[in-house]
Amino acid sequence: MSYSESQASSLSRRATPGGERPEAPGSLIVKGRRCCARPRIALSKLVAGVLQRRFDALPRTRTARLNTIYYVAGLIKPLLQKTLLFVALCLLAAGAAQGAVERSSAKVAEQPARKAELVWPPPPLAPRIRYLHSIATSDDIRGKKGFWRKFWEFFRGPQVDAMIKPMGVVADRKGRVYVADPAARRVHVFDKEKRKYRFIDEVDKQFLQFPINVALDDKDNLYIVDGVRKRVFALTNAGKLKRSYGEQGQLQRPSSAAVDTEREMLYVVDPPSHDIKVFGLADGKLKRVIGKRGVGPGEFNFPAWLALDREGRLYVTDSLNGRIQILSPEGKPLSAIGRFGDGSGNFSSPKGVALDSEEHLYVTDSGFDNIQIFDNSGRLLLYFGTSGQVPGSFWMPAGIFIDHHDKIYVADAYNRRVQVYQYLKKKASP
C-alpha cells in the first residue's frame, strides 16, 4: 500500500468525537487550523481559464473592436443619464429640506432677534441709532441660493465677489449702493431691489487704478475719484462717461469729492496740495482753489474727506490738524469742530463726514473705531461703535454716507464690509 492510500485509510478509521467530520485529503493542519491548499489552486486555474476564453473571444480586427466600444458606450449612456437625474433629484430634495429648516429656524429666531436689536444709546434711554445689516459680498444682496444656482455651483464652484478694502460709499434713490474699493481697483455696485451685483473697473477705455471715493449728484450721476489717474470721472445712470475733471497737473492725488448742483460746482479734495479744487460742473474747468497748508482758519494739513449741507456749506476733514472745518460755499472759514485728544468730542484719526436730515454732523474716526455725532454748534450728542468685528463694531472705518431716508452707510475698511444703520428721529410730543 502506498503512502497516500495508507493515509486515506487511517483518516477513514479515525475517531470523530462530537460528530465532527474527518479532515479531507489534501488538507494541511497548521496549529489546529485547516488550510485548504488544493481547492485554492483549482479555483485560480478555473478563473484563469475563464479569463483566457474571454480574451480569446475578443474581436481581432479594428472595426470589430470599434463596434464593441460603441456597444459598450450604448450600455453606459442610459446608466449615466439615470445617474445625473438621480443627482439632480437628490439636490432638489436637499434644497427643499434645507429651505424648510431655514424657514422653521427663522420663525423660531424671529422674536429673540427683535429683542436683541442693536441700538444707541442703550435702554432705558430712547434709541437714536439702530443697526440694520451689513454688506460684504455679492451673496448679501442676492438672497438665498435657489436650486438651479446650487446645481450650477455644484459643477462649476461658487462665484462670490467680495470687498477687499472699502473706503468710500454712497447710495442713490433707487437703493443701489456704490462702494469704492481701491485695493480691488473697482467700484462695487449692489442693487438690492433687483438682487443683482456688478462692478465698474474701467472708465474711458482705461482701467481704474485707485478708486478711493465716490459721490452722487441730485440726478444720481456717479462721480468716481481715482487718486492714481488724478481724475474725477462723472458717469451717467447707464454707466457711460459724461465728463472727467482734472487736466494734466491740476490734481496731485484727489481723495474725495462733493457736488453742488445748485451752484453747478464740483469740490475736489487734494491732500498733497493741502487744498480744495473747485471745478465747473458743466465745462469741467478749474474755477478756483480753496485753502493752503497751515493751522489757521481756512488752512489745511492733508485734508481728506468732504461733505455739503443743504445751504452749500463745506464740511472738510482737516485730518492732520485733528478737526472738521466748516466753510462757506465760497471757501470762507466759518467754524471748526474738534481737536486731537482722547476725551469726548476729540479726534484720533478723523475720516469721513456726512449730515443727516436734521443737519447733525457724523464723523468716522479710524483711531477710536467709532462714529461721533455733533449738532450744528459743535456739541457732541452721541457716539456709537467700538473696536471689533461683530455687528456694531468697526475696524478702521473710513467713508460715511447718509441717504434721503436717514440710512447711514459706513465703509468698515478693515472688516471688508459696509454697515448700514438707521437714524431714528425724535417722536413729536402729543
Name the nearest CA neighbour of 139 among 193, 183, 195, 200: 195
Peptide linkage before 112 cis (omega within 30 of 0): no
Q: Rounded to whole angstroms, how far apart are CA atoms 308 and 315?
A: 6
- Are 372 and 380 in contact by the 8 Å Cβ rule? The answer is yes
Task: Examine the pLDDT at 342 and tell me if it is beyond 60.
Answer: yes
Return all residues near 73 (Cβ < 8 A) that are at least 6 apart.
Answer: none
Band (111; pLDDT cuts 50, 70, 90): very low
Q: What is the mean pLDDT of residues 308-336?
A: 97
Residue by residue, DSSP assigns 274-295 as: TEEEEEETTT--EEEEE--BSS
Task: Examine the pLDDT at 77 and tell me if it is beyond 90.
Answer: no
**Amino acid identity at 295:** V
Q: What rounded mean pLDDT belongs to the chain?
A: 83
Q: Select the more confidently predicted residue: 174 or 146.
A: 174
Q: 21-61: per-residue pLDDT in tens?
A: 444 444 444 444 444 445 555 666 775 666 566 556 655 56
Ordered by where they begin, the domains of the chain are 42-116 (no CATH), 130-423 (2.120.10.30)
Name the nearest CA neighbour of 99 among 155, 144, 154: 144
Q: How many CA atoms lie within 13 A of 133 on its CB side?
A: 6
Q: pLDDT at position 122, please?
A: 93
Residue by residue, DSSP assigns 78-134 as: HHHHHHHHHHHHHHHHHHHHHHHHHHHHHHHHHHHHHHT--EESPTTSPP-EEEEEE
Q: Rounded to whole angstroms, how far apart are CA atoms 353 and 343?
A: 19
**Amino acid identity at 217:** D
Q: pLDDT at position 155, please?
A: 61
Task: Examine the pLDDT at 320 and tell me if it is beyond 60.
Answer: yes
Q: 156-193: per-residue pLDDT in tens?
A: 666 788 999 999 999 999 999 999 999 999 999 999 88
Task: Examine the pLDDT at 98 and tell me if it is beyond 80.
Answer: no
Q: pLDDT at position 87, please?
A: 72
Peptide linkage before 124 cis (omega within 30 of 0): yes
> Phi and psi dihedrals of 340, rounded to 5?
-70, 140
Q: pLDDT at position 311, please?
A: 94
Q: Rounded to whole angstroms, how far apart are CA atoms 281 and 279?
A: 6
Task: Examine the pLDDT at 351 and tell me if it is beyond 80.
Answer: yes
Q: pLDDT at position 103, please?
A: 54
Task: Examine the pLDDT at 143 and tell me if it is beyond 60.
Answer: yes
| Share of the chain residues as helix, strand and coil, in percent rounded to the nearest 5 | 25, 35, 40
Q: Select the more confidently predicted residue: 198 or 104.
A: 198
Q: pLDDT at position 36, please?
A: 44
Q: pLDDT at position 75, please?
A: 67
Can you tell me which residue has the cell 472727467? 244
Name the nearest CA neighbour of 405 among 357, 347, 344: 357
- Are 171 and 152 in contact by the 8 Å Cβ rule? The answer is no
Q: pLDDT at position 199, please?
A: 96
